[in-house]
């Protein structure tokens, strides 16, 4: 089976750094993805890890530890437009299906 856990809500201050955690227990693993979703809109792809370590893309970074079943998304220099839900998704070992966590709703305050 698949079990993917993320915090439901987080609040952070504009200009700060926030870390959103994701833990997973899956029957197979072939990559972990992070998506951003603004209210009422489509999820958009942010970052992808298949090997252990840190991937950096501008203000966004994502980390993976496969042995611990753990990932985090790090957002730096927070802006008001970063207020959104952040979805963690695991791709199964076949590469055919993605399993999503319930998402973390991030509110950025002035």
Partner 1 sequence: DADVTQTPRNRITKTGKRIMLECSQTKGHDRMYWYRQDPGLGLRLIYYSFDVKDINKGEISDGYSVSRQAQAKFSLSLESAIPNQTALYFCATSEDGNSPLHFGNGTRLTVT
Residues forming contacts to partner 1 in the complex (CB under 8 A) are 30-31, 33, 35, 40-45, 48, 87, 89, 91, 94-103
In angstroms, give the least distance from the CB of 102 to partner 1.
4
**Would you say 96 or 110 has its CB closer to partner 1?**
96
Least CB distance to partner 1 at residue 23 (A): 14
Length, in residues, of the chain? 110
In angstroms, what is the minimal distance from the CB of 65 to partner 1?
21
Per-residue b or e along 81-91, where b marks 16 or more CB atoms closer than 10 Å to that residue's CB:
ebbbbbbbbbb
Residue among 17 and 50 whose Cβ is closer to partner 1 = 50
Choice between 69 and 103, CB closer to partner 1: 103
Q: Virtual CA dihedral for 82, 21, 28, 59, nearest 10 degrees?
A: 40
Closest distance of CB 96 from partner 1, Å: 7
Cβ closest to partner 1, residue 67 vs residue 96:
96
Residue with tokens 């963690």: 88
77 to 2, 16, 18, 39: CA distances (angstroms)? 33, 5, 9, 21
């Amino acid at each position: 089976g698949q079990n993917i856990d993320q915090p439901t809500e987080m609040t952070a201050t504009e200009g700060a750094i926030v870390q959103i955690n994701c833990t997973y227990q899956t029957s197979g693993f072939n990559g972990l993805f992070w998506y951003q979703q603004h209210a009422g809109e489509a999820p958009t792809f942010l970052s992808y890890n298949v090997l252990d370590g840190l991937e950096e893309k501008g203000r966004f970074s994502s980390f993976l530890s496969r042995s611990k079943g753990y990932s985090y998304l790090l957002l730096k220099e927070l802006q008001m437009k970063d207020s959104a839900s952040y979805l963690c998704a695991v791709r199964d070992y076949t590469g055919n299906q993605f399993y999503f966590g319930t998402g973390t709703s991030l509110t950025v305050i002035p």
